[in-house]
Structure 1
């Protein structure tokens, strides 16, 4: 298989993997939230559980990525960024926003969280703090993917 065909096939498989993670992430989040509520650990549960789920998802995505074949023979590196990295990260466009919307909706419709306003309806300050933490996770994930692609050259 030539470079474009092999890489397109692997990107397709990875994209399907990422899509398949969405219901898994929701279930994982639901389990974490149920655990927190049953142990009366509601303070910070929004932030804590989002980060746990995303960290796990990124770890699993990296493991999946390493099982896929890529042809690096014509891969271009521009200012330390492998072109394969840029293409692969595009698979995640809208991914975090979709997950956040699901979690915010879950919290806003949760009767169990209604007595805890910060967790029931996270305000912009709380959401900004969560987004900053998510950005750090994303940065580390992107760097790990790029390092992997650079090692494979």
Structure 2
């Protein structure tokens, strides 16, 4: 809470630095909604009153939630070869290939709530729904 109070009394230059530090943080390693809230906290008030700008940010971080779900699915999936062949030549397999080459998925994307019996579409729905629910509550 103290860090929140310190940010209130910052001048404009420090607010800009704080915003860019938070926005440049590797967002895939964090909860998308928490990152969205920090970015919103750093933005000036006129930006938040523009519905289109706010909706664009929500959609951007939704894509982060979807990418995290895809990475988690391929990291935890037992039958990786059949799931790759079923979804050839799409963004899902591109994300999987990039994360497979880097090898960092096993360190950052861990979930005790992963069901091995679901397909990729259900996994995306399951792991992105909490983000959408929180955004809907924020919107109200």
TM-score, L = length of structure 2: 0.42
| Structure possessing the higher relative contact order (Cα contacts under 8 Å, 6 or more residues apart) | 1
